[in-house]
Amino acid sequence: MRKMIPVKDVNVTDAFWRDRMELVREVVIPYQEEILNDRVEGQEPSHAIRNFRIAAGLEDGEYYGMVFQDSDVAKWLEAAAYSLAVYPDPDLEARVDEVIAVIAKAQQSDGYLNTYYTVKEPGKRWTNLREHHELYCAGHMIEAAVAYYEAVGKRQLLDVMCRMADHIDSQFGPEEDKRQGYPGHEEIELALVKLYRVTGEKRYLQLADYFVRQRGQQPHYFEEEARQRGEKDITLTHGLWDHSYTQSHLPVLEQTTAEGHAVRAVYLYSGMVDVAMETASDDLLETCRTLWQNVTKQRMFITGGIGSQGYGEAFTVDYDLPNDTAYTETCAAIGLVFWAKRMLQVDLHGSYGDVMERALFNNVLSGISWDGRRFFYVNPLEVRPDVAAYRQDHRHVETERQGWFGCACCPPNVARLLASLGQYIYTQNDEEVSVDLFVGSEARFTVQNEVVQLRQETQYPWDGTVRLQLQLDEPLAFQLAVRIPSWCRRPELAINGELVELPKVTEKGYACLRRSWSDGDTVELQLPMQPERVYAHPAVSENAGRTALMRGPVVYCLEEVDNGSQLRDVQCPLDAAIAEETGIGDWPQAIALTFDGFRTRFPANALYAMGQLELEAVPVKAVPYFLWGNRQPGEMLVWLRQG
């Protein structure tokens, strides 16, 4: 098993990603703090902090918001914790401590913590696991507690959540006097493993294992629970949910395809890997490998997005990957990153790093505006504002990023991922250090009880040169594994200036460099980047006769601001020379792609026409998908007609 590197042991120096992390520190965290305190005019009220104050007896009032409103506070706290680990800030730390003090006061005497049930339905705890997110909220707050303890060493929130975990353990498990239930929305599984790792309390790991393996067992808990609530229809709620929605249609070891709500699914799979790593459970790992193949080979968009339809925010069937109605929730791509990183800890395979990179550079970054104050919940691959504003099947599509949402899970989720980016760049064990992402950084490792420091320099994703330099007190033999992205056709690698024959050292998408390393040794990786046409599997019917453009890990799109409206009419000829152009608006380093394309000359005032239509040559400009919607509203298109 490999481990992730603590956030505080990686200093991100990268021009591209450090800018995003500083944005989180300087803009996103303060902005979201104001939102959570209902101090931003014109935005959807959150009431999340006030719910805790009411539950703590510090204010009078009624509960407001979704049943999972507590989780917005938890994710904000987690983002703040990661930021504090990298950028100490006494003022932010003091504000975090104030929020934690309120949370501690809101905890009930038996350890229970959930403002919805404390304030709104105090007599109905644990009666609706399928829908009401008690365990989900607890999981997010546990993650925040662990992150804050590891960042600044303070235990108050950690102690609060240990008491909550103890309470949950007293309520759930295989014993006859406990509930044999599990969460409708997975998240606590991975959180309990984090809590186990930081406390050493095995009951938390055992409870995580129980929640994973109990899911989908018969008699079905959600049906029994619904009967106890007196519901007539025990399998459906609001005409939406069957058991696949909550990944409880089968026991997890029998599942072979990704089903239901996409965020829940990847949170479950992440928890399964965590439990497997700590319990040496090969059965869980083999299931995750099977599910990984299904998600990434049949059910993932080119942007790294997952979840094809708005109805249920869910997976559908293999190769059903629509563009204009794609749901591709930002949280789902974030969960895919979580899962990919955990799979890398188990098995050093380039496919996991490739998907993690694809999701980060495309679907995740699309979810937040470049100024950090506006967000996408849904990330379609085609937008026509006039259609989206009218059609019922497009009602989930926002054509512009929003300042906040009534269901605001995505904005703080983006913040906590970007703030913690350092822990996704590398993995290690006692014999190996792997470079999984190309992000300029300085990292510290302990290998065979010796300190190894690694400096990575790169201008990725605009340039494919990556330089690694090692710092050691004494020579040390270990393996340095460097991911070779599958998108790169002609990679080159040199150690101290001497070329290495990559085919001889490449295993499962990684250049595995085992040798005795000395202070100052350098590895230079050249990943030539060129515009590439990408084609979808023939079964993806929406993309028949279409192509998408990529350069390195970045997916490109057309925007109306550059190309006018009716983007579906733009054709990319097979023989078009695709050129690069540096500088896009306020982003001088960004690279656009340009080519000479065609549009149709269609008869005026006609709806249909017969005969061969004339084509008009037009210049076409494509920009990185993650930047779309940052200049002005309008149409957007990823998949182009192949001329």
Catalytic site positions: 313, 409
CB of 308 closer than 8 Å to CB of 299: yes
* 103 SS3 class: helix
Q: Which residues contact 75 (CB under 8 A, 6 or more apart)?
A: 140, 144, 409, 412, 413, 415, 416
Contacts 24+ apart (CB under 8 A), 511-515: 511/481, 511/482, 511/483, 511/484, 512/479, 512/481, 513/479, 513/480, 513/481, 513/482, 514/477, 514/478, 514/479, 514/480, 515/477
**Closest CA relative to residue 104, chosen from 151, 57, 172, 46:** 57
Q: Are 485 and 553 in contact (CB under 8 A)?
A: yes
CA-atom Rg of the chain in angstroms:
25
* Pairing of β 465-472 and β 450-458: antiparallel
Burial pattern 295-320, b for ≥16 Cβ within 10 A else e, equals: bbebbbbbbbbbbbbbebbbbbeebb
Which residue type, as a one-letter code, is found at position 94? A
CA dist list (Å): 105 to 37, 108, 312, 595: 18, 8, 36, 61
Token duo for residue 108: 């009930």
CA distance 522 to 467: 7
CA 23, distance to chain mean position in Å, is 18
261 touches 327 (CB < 8 A): no
Q: How far apart, in whole angstroms, are the C-alpha atoms of residue 570 and residue 614?
A: 13
Query: Rounded CA gap, 540 and 317, in Å?
Result: 11
Task: Give yes or no for a contact between 433 and 478, defined as CB atoms under 8 angstroms apart.
Answer: yes
DSSP string computed for 248-268: -SS-GGG--S--SBHHHHHHH
Residue 34: helix, strand or coil by DSSP? helix
Backbone angles phi, psi at 470, to 5 degrees: -100, 145
Structure token digits, residue 82: 């990661």
Pairing of strands 510-517, 506-507: antiparallel
Nearest CA among 354, 352, 409 for reference residue 378? 409
**Beta strands across the sheet bearing 498-500:** 10-12, 441-447, 450-458, 465-472, 522-526, 492-495, 498-500
CA dihedral sign of residues 231, 224, 215, 207? positive
Q: What are phi and psi of 592, to 5 degrees?
A: -100, 160
* 8-state DSSP, 86: H
Q: Are 402 and 375 in contact (CB under 8 A)?
A: yes
Pairing of strands 571-572, 640-642: parallel
Cα torsion 199, 201, 206, 208 to 10°: value is: -20
Report the C-alpha gap between 422 and 368 in whole angstroms.
Answer: 19
For residues 470 and 307, give the distance between their C-alpha atoms in angstroms, rounded to a whole number. 41
